[in-house]
Amino acid sequence: MRIGFLLNPVAGMGGRVGLKGTDGKVAEARARGAEPRAPDRARRALDALAERAPDAELLAWGDPMGATEAREAGFAPEVLGEPADSDAGSDAEDTRRAVDAFREAGVDLVLFVGGDGTAADVAEALEGSDVPMLGVPAGVKVYSSVFAVSPEDAAYVATTFERAERREVMDIDEDDYREGEVHPELRAVAHVPVAERLQSGKQTGGGTVESLATGVADDVRARPETTWVLGPGSTVGEVKEQLGFEGSPIGVDVYRDGDVLALDAAEAEILDSLGEDNVIVVTPIGGQGFVFGRGNPQLSPAVIRECDLEIVASRDKLDDLRVLRVDTDDPELDEALRGWVKVRVGRFERRMMKVV
């Protein structure tokens, strides 16, 4: 099997420092102390690929777009080219050039590491071709249905799929996203391996959440010593409204005993605000079921380990989900979070859901 592999080295960098994406914000992300996320996720996918298919023929693009990660995983990749400016990282044109080269070399699959923007660039370069594409999720926003659930799942799908189907590539304007406006737009339709370990596209759950939010707000007021880390989304946004403040609709806010300790907080601000008793309140993404790992990278493994977890969701949203999912960048933490959990669906009611 011939696989064209490429990495967007800056994908997801802006997440933990509160930038909600990296498009046009790489320098600012670095100034805030952001660390690359995508290379580690690339290594996880490639390590799993090497274990499952050590004889796979890997074609790659020059550093920092994946050649080193491929070699570190034990492959001897054929490097077909280099990014225009290796010191600057990569851009959309580098991605398209790499995919064009992979197509000409006759690959069976393009495996890429990035977010929705990278997916759109890959799909554009593959337009008119039957070559399938598969994403290793590394971006802050991952709405497209061309991604595996986790890096390890990407390796599984890449080595087991037998056919491909057409799926949607979605993306959003990150400037609008930072202002709280989320309007996913169809960017392309691409051939993607058929597998159960692919995530669904983002959907919107229906149903009122007022009584649910009332129950959470009651708990918050009853525990004044507890620090509440309130995640993004309209469901948790209703909780913030009932607590009497206008929260960040797509960010993380920290609240304790009537005070907003941090608004639209980055990982470091959240950690600085925590006390002895802390609770994360988060809602899964509709249609996908992700509790961690999509849209809330500020809730890092370090934050999660310091907190208890309260998952909230409307009944309608859960009706559309078979399971919940986590993808925290920490496989050990992911494993610890898996299993049956209680999800608040009303002021007092809860429903059992399985995290896989």
Q: Give the mean model confidence (pLDDT) for residues 173-198.
A: 69
Higher pLDDT, 187 or 141: 187
**Structure tokens of 127?**
């337009």
Percent of the chain clearing pLDDT 70 (strictly above): 85
- pLDDT tens string 250-269: 899 999 999 999 999 999 99
Distance of CA 314 to the CA centre of its chain: 22
User: Would you say residue 171 has pLDDT above 90?
Assistant: no
- pLDDT tens string 48-70: 999 999 999 999 999 999 999 99
User: Would you say residue 180 has pLDDT above 90?
Assistant: no
Domains and CATH numbers, the chain: 2-193 (3.40.50), 210-355 (3.40.50)
Residues contacting residue 238 through CB under 8 Å, at least 6 positions apart: 209, 210, 212, 213
Q: Give the mean model confidence (pLDDT) for residues 101-128.
A: 95
What was the pLDDT predicted at 206? 38
User: Would you say residue 204 has pLDDT above 50?
Assistant: no
Q: Please state, in angstroms and rounded to a whole number, the distance separating the CA atoms of residues 75 and 54.
A: 8
Burial class from Cβ neighbours inside 10 Å (0-12, 13-18, 19+) for residue 263 reads middle
**What is the dihedral angle through the alpha carbons of 48, 52, 56, 62, rounded to the nearest 10 degrees?**
0
User: Would you say residue 188 has pLDDT above 70?
Assistant: yes
Residues contacting residue 223 through CB under 8 Å, at least 6 positions apart: 277
What helix, strand, coil percent values describe the chain, rounded to 5? 30, 25, 45
| 0.85 exceeded by pTM | no
